[in-house]
Every structure is written in structure tokens, then in C-alpha cells.
Chains A and B, each alone.
Chain A
Amino acid sequence: MARTELPAVAVEQLHVVRGGRVVIAGLSCTVRSGRITGLLGPSGSGKSTLIRAIVGVQAVAGGAVRVLGEPAGSPVLRDRVGYVTQSPSVYPGLTVAENVRFFACVLGVSLQDVDRVLEVVDLARYADTMVGRLSGGERSRVSLASALLGSPRLLVLDEPTVGLDPVLRVRLWDLFAALASEGISLLVSSHVMDEAERCDDLLLLRDGALLAEDTPAGLLERTGTDDVEAAFLALIDEGAA
């Protein structure tokens, strides 16, 4: 822990303007390596926008984003960063296995890896089912499976647990923990505050600005609250005062 390791993501003074409006105003934060960082904030707070800047698909108006030591969006990062978009990015006209195989071809990884990731997200049973016939939660796991292909060092997941039942959600968080223990860094966004306790670190976002960057325990201690939701509200009050 005392090791001064290169952060997985380092954001400095990020400014993003979307549709003529400032969506992120001078945000700085880091995502530590080999840990699960939760990106929490209400709807519209800029979570997806920050994530887009990190994976390099967002035009930024200012600031710097470095991912695994490289500028965000660098070609060398393409094989090292797995990204799951907020709405699942899948072809409904293909089966589950074909969708994942498609991404395996894109990444140039072995097709055997397809079976592995389908096991991991618990979709092996549905390998030959047309994605168009899956539920929303199942579709998002197809996307997640594709992001797990190869050996990504950083996984960026935009609200991967939306629409999942509690059992699956717990399973998914167990999976995240297992991945982190293998040294993979994860940035997971959510607007469900109770998922915060499964994270190692938290980034609390509101109106495009960082409210707090802390561990869950540190956050509760600092605000004198006993859940992250209350801590979030306390921080807003603090800011208003």
C-alpha cells in the first residue's frame, strides 16, 4: 500500500463542454491501481461524461487525463482498457456467443477466451440465444463479457448493475472484487449509493464537480454519518453552508 504506484487514471483540471454547457468544470481525481473505485453521483452529474473522457471518446475543452501512464485515448491503451457503455453495446441480431466473438475478432484474442468470459458473467447457458431476446440485465452482461476479453488492466464500467436483481448484483460485485484481487483496476459508476460499500475508493460527483474523494470508511468518519447516502447529503449541506 505504501508503494508509490502509478495510478490507473489521473485526471487533472478536466473541463468538458457538451451542447454549449459546461458539464465538467475543473475536475481532478485519481483511480488507484488494483482497486475498485466507485464513481457515484445523481443522474446528470457527469459520470458518463467523465468516463467518456477517460476512455478517450469525449472531446475535452481543457485539462489532462492520463490512463495507465498514457494520454487518454492513446492507441496503446486500446488493448489494455475494457469499457462497458451505459446502454449495452450489442448486436440484437446476433447470438450471445457471436456478439462476444465479434469483439474477440476486433481485439485479436483467441476464440477460446469467449467461453471463459461467458462463464464469468454467467451467460454460458445463453451462448446460442439471440441477444434481441434477452432481458436488459442479460444484455448488459453480454457487454461486460466483451470487455473482459483479453487481459485488460483497467475496466471502466458505466452503471453495470442497473436493472439487475439483488442476487446478480451481489454476484457481479463479487466478480469485480475477484478481478481487483488479480491486480485489475476498476472504475464503476453507479447512482445507487448502497453499492458504495463494495468499493475500495469513492469519487462523489455532483453537477460536474468532485464532492469527495475518499474511502467509504474515511467518508463516513469525516461526515459523521453511517451510510454513504447520508454522507453525500451532508457534503452537499457543507458545500452550501
Chain B
Amino acid sequence: MTAVIDNPMTRSTRAELLRLRKWPAVWVTVAVWVALALMFGYLFPYLSYRTGDLSFAGDGDTRAQLLVEMLPAALPTVLVQGLPMFGGALALVLGAIVAGNGYGWGTWKTVFTQGPSRPTTVGGSLVALTIAVVGILALTLVLFTGVSLVVAGVESQAVTWPAAGALLESFGGGFLVLEMWALLGYTLGTVARGPALAVGLGLVWALVVENLLRGVGALLGPVEAVTEVLPGTAGGSLVGALIDVSANPNETPGILDVLSGGQALVTVTAYCVGLVVLVLVLVRRRDVA
């Protein structure tokens, strides 16, 4: 414990990691994510596979296709397919409560007078949030791998592993999408100086406003141009590129092919960098109420 490198940033990262690890709200968020991901990734497809009722998700898959998508070889796809919708929304909630709670309870005010400087403190907090995002995705991958092995075993299918490159690409892309939403939540929590308003506004934006705008954008040229740079469009397109949505007629909500993979990657990365800069500028400049 004493041998840990002690620089201001690691101090603050360790403090924030402690807070995240011990905080029930974080585990509730993670549990909801895992439950949803397992339900939509494996449980529902498996049920429709077993019952032969293919109306699930109305995506026109055959039974054989359903099975293929539950086997280990399909991990790169299944890992990211839930991210644009509920993955992003839950990452947003996580980011918003991590930033907002400290304002709501006045803890940032105290932390900002103690220990490392404000940008370092918030930097450490962002590192902790990023570690949490990577951890959640890794946990998901481990669970999914286990479940897909079980499916392969129960259905006596040969286990073929996905290409390492494809899995890595999917993990990396998925991480960027989740990180973007988490940072968006963190920014909202910082601007609103509290979790409630940030969570509320963020969710309305991610789940309602973006979809409405995309609907209007399909009819109105100028609006369409705007929707192309929205975080949901960028994240959805990045995932769409990863699972090759254009070759796959699935209608999974939130997955898009509006932007090319390259454009989407650039946009998502730009959001991540831009939001970090914005948060650091905000906390540096502001009076702590």
C-alpha cells in the first residue's frame, strides 16, 4: 500500500476509485446494464430460438441465424450491439452521478480546498471513471463469453473463437462509445452541479430528442446536417460500422449507418477529447458554490 506511486493525480484517482467501488448506486447501474445486456443479447434470442417464435425484435432472422449470433464467434457483435441505446444511457447516468453527487453533497467544495489542485483532482476523477467504463465492458465480455460457451455446450455446437483483431476492434469501439456517453454525463453533472437535473436532461436528450431530430432530419436537409454530428448518431454509426449493419438487416434500435466508420470514429473521439477539455476549463474557472 505504501509502495504505490504517490503523485497528485494518482491520489485523486485512488480516492475516486474507492468512492466508485464502495458506492451502491454504481453497482446498481452496473447490474442494470448487465441484466439488460444479457437479456437482449442472449436470453430473448435464446427463448425465440427454443420456441421457434421468431417474432422477437422483429428482425427477420432465421432460427439458424439466431443460434449463430449466440455462439462465441459472434462475441464482437453482441458485445457492442446494446451500447448505443441502453449502454450509452447507463454510462451517461454513471458519469452524471459521479460528477454531480460531489456537488450535491458539497464534497467537491472540500476536495477543492485540499490535496491536489482542481484540474488534477478532476483529472483523477475522469481517470477513475474511465477505469470504471473499461471495467464494465470487460465484465460484460467475460459474462458474454461464459454465456456463449454455455449456449454452444447446450446446443452441442463446435466452439469457434472470433478473430482476436475483430474482438479488439469491437472492444475498442465499444469503449469509445461508452466513454463518450459517460463523459457527456460527467459534463452535465458538472454544469448542473448536481446529479438529478443532469441525469434527467441527459436521458431526455439521449433517448428522446436525438431520435426526434433524426426523424425530422430525414425530411429537412438543414436538420439532417445537424443530426450527423450528434453523439447518438456518431456512437450508433460507430457500432453500426463495427457490426457491419449495412450487410445485416437487423433493426436494433440506436444502431445506424448514417456516418462511415471513419467519420464516426473521428466524431466520437472528438467528443471525448472536447468534453474532457470542457470539464477541466469549467472547474478551473468557476466559483465553487
Interfacial residues, chain A to chain B (CB-CB below 8 A): 55-59, 75, 78-79, 81-85, 87-95, 98, 101-103, 105-108, 110-111, 143, 146
Closest B residue to A75 using CB positions: B117
Q: Which of A79, A95, A143 contacts B110 (CB 8 A)?
A: A143
- Bound form: Cα–Cα A147–B129 in Å: 25
Given contacts A88-B106, A90-B107, A106-B11, contact A98 B18 (CB under 8 A): yes
Which residues in chain B, 19-58, are within 8 Å of chain A measured between CB atoms?
19, 22-25
Once the chains bind, are B115 and A102 in contact (CB under 8 Å)? Answer: no
Number of interface residues of B (CB under 8 A): 31
- Bound form: Cα–Cα A136–B230 in Å: 44
* Interface residue B158 (Cβ < 8 Å from any Cβ of A): no
Nearest CB of B to A210, in Å? 24
- Bound form: Cα–Cα A74–B224 in Å: 49
Given contacts A78-B116, A94-B23, contact A87 B18 (CB under 8 A): no
* Interface residue B237 (Cβ < 8 Å from any Cβ of A): no
Once the chains bind, are B287 and A59 in contact (CB under 8 Å)? Answer: yes
- Bound form: Cα–Cα A218–B113 in Å: 34
Instruction: Tell me the total A-B contact number using a CB cutoff of 8 A.
Output: 86
Interfacial residues, chain B to chain A (CB-CB below 8 A): 1-2, 6, 8, 11-12, 14-15, 18-19, 22-25, 101-102, 105-107, 109-117, 121, 287-288
Q: Which residues of A contact B116 (CB under 8 A)?
A: 78, 106
Given contacts A59-B287, A95-B22, A105-B18, contact A89 B110 (CB under 8 A): yes
Once the chains bind, are A57 and B23 in contact (CB under 8 Å)? Answer: no
Q: Which residues of B contact A88 (CB under 8 A)?
A: 106
Closest B residue to A139 using CB positions: B105
Nearest CB of B to A17, in Å? 12
- Bound form: Cα–Cα A98–B26 in Å: 15
Seed contacts A91-B102, A94-B23; 16 additional CB < 8 Å A-B pairs: A55-B113, A57-B112, A57-B113, A58-B287, A78-B115, A78-B117, A83-B110, A88-B106, A89-B109, A95-B22, A102-B15, A103-B15, A106-B11, A106-B116, A143-B110, A146-B110
Once the chains bind, are B11 and A107 in contact (CB under 8 Å)? Answer: yes
- Bound form: Cα–Cα A107–B105 in Å: 19
Given contacts A81-B113, A108-B6, contact A93 B25 (CB under 8 A): yes
Once the chains bind, are A78 and B113 in contact (CB under 8 Å)? Answer: yes
Provide 22 A-B residue pairs closer than 8 Å at the C-beta atoms, listed in order of the A residue.
A57-B288, A78-B113, A78-B116, A78-B117, A79-B114, A79-B115, A81-B114, A85-B110, A87-B106, A89-B105, A89-B106, A90-B105, A90-B107, A91-B19, A93-B23, A102-B15, A103-B15, A106-B11, A106-B121, A108-B8, A108-B115, A146-B110
Q: Which residues of B contact A59 (CB under 8 A)?
A: 287
Given contacts A78-B113, A90-B105, A108-B115, contact A98 B22 (CB under 8 A): yes
Nearest CB of B to A49, in Å? 12
- Bound form: Cα–Cα A87–B121 in Å: 21
Nearest CB of A to B28, in Å? 10
Closest A residue to B287 using CB positions: A59
- Bound form: Cα–Cα A87–B11 in Å: 25
Nearest CB of A to B276, in Å? 20
Q: Which residues of B contact A93 (CB under 8 A)?
A: 23-25, 101
Q: Which residues of B contact A106 (CB under 8 A)?
A: 11-12, 15, 111, 114-116, 121
- Bound form: Cα–Cα A89–B121 in Å: 16
Once the chains bind, are B115 and A107 in contact (CB under 8 Å)? Answer: yes
Once the chains bind, are B105 and A111 in contact (CB under 8 Å)? Answer: no
Q: Which residues of A contact B22 (CB under 8 A)?
A: 94-95, 98
Q: Which residues of B contact A111 (CB under 8 A)?
A: 1
Q: Which residues of B contact A55 (CB under 8 A)?
A: 113
Closest B residue to A80 using CB positions: B114
Q: Which residues of B contact A108 (CB under 8 A)?
A: 6, 8, 11, 115
Once the chains bind, are B109 and A102 in contact (CB under 8 Å)? Answer: no
Nearest CB of B to A6, in Å? 21
- Bound form: Cα–Cα A111–B19 in Å: 15
Q: Which residues of B contact A95 (CB under 8 A)?
A: 22
Closest B residue to A111 using CB positions: B1
Q: Which residues of B contact A105 (CB under 8 A)?
A: 11-12, 14-15, 18
- Bound form: Cα–Cα A89–B105 in Å: 6
Once the chains bind, are A92 and B15 in contact (CB under 8 Å)? Answer: no
Closest A residue to B2 using CB positions: A110
Q: Which residues of B contact A82 (CB under 8 A)?
A: 114
Q: Which residues of A contact B109 (CB under 8 A)?
A: 57, 85, 89
Nearest CB of A to B121, in Å? 7
Nearest CB of B to A214, in Å? 29
Given contacts A91-B23, A93-B23, A108-B6, contact A101 B287 (CB under 8 A): no
- Indicate the member of B8, B111, B113, B287 with the most A CB atoms within 10 Å: B113
